[in-house]
Amino acid sequence: MPLVDVPQNPQKVWEALQEGNHRLVTGNLIDVNQDAKLRAGLTQGQDPRVIVLACSDSRAPIEHVFNIGFGDAFVIRTAGHILDSAVMASLDYALENLKANLLVVMGHQSCGAVGAASDFLAGGDLPTGLQRPIIERVAAASMVAKRDGREERADFERENTAQTVSQIISDVPAARRLLDAGTLGIVGLRYLLEDSSVETVVLHGVK
């Protein structure tokens, strides 16, 4: 089912995404939102039900992970799904204008940015140049996990996602407002490369 046909309800959209991922895991994919008629209709505008902020890693393509198609998701991707001014502005635009009912932050297993941050925390060097701010931000999240006694790379990946969700709720006014109004749900996920499933990290406004 195209997400545009899903009721505009955070819980219903979340359930539809879970069903799509289950289809991927079980090998029962369906054709969704790819025909020429649909693409032609999208020239008039977009009406996505979900906004996704995800890591840029090529092994975690959003539309494939959830078995969705053209026009279903407004997707923002950065290494380690870190937030900067451009990403925050993109989220603010999407939340204010697209009337999506779910915001997903998706990290993943074997994240390179988290791996580099882990190496730094173990005594390695920080990258120089443009990559440095990425690793610094991911390392800050990893340090929170370490303080709580969570030392595995998977723990760092989960904490990085949880920290991103918290920052969005704190720093993007529309996210907090829509969440409080009950028209938006926010989900933090970790995609597992080994079996294509998604692991829930945090939930706000959905269950």
Which residue ranges make up the annotated binding site for Zn(2+)? 55, 57, 108, 111
CB atoms < 10 A from the CB of 200, how many? 14
> SS3 letters for 1-15?
CCHHHCCCCHHHHHH
Looking at the DSSP assignment, which residues form a beta bridge with residue 54?
Answer: 77, 106
Joined together, the tokens standing for residue 40 give 């032609």
Cα–Cα distance for residue pair 24/195, rounded to 1 Å: 9
Annotated binding-site residues read 55, 57, 108, 111
CB 189 within 8 A of CB 161: yes
Q: Do strands 198-204 and 185-191 pair parallel, antiparallel, or not at all (unpaired)?
A: antiparallel
Cα–Cα distance for residue pair 98/206, rounded to 1 Å: 19
CB 79 within 8 A of CB 113: yes
Joined together, the tokens standing for residue 12 give 């219903």
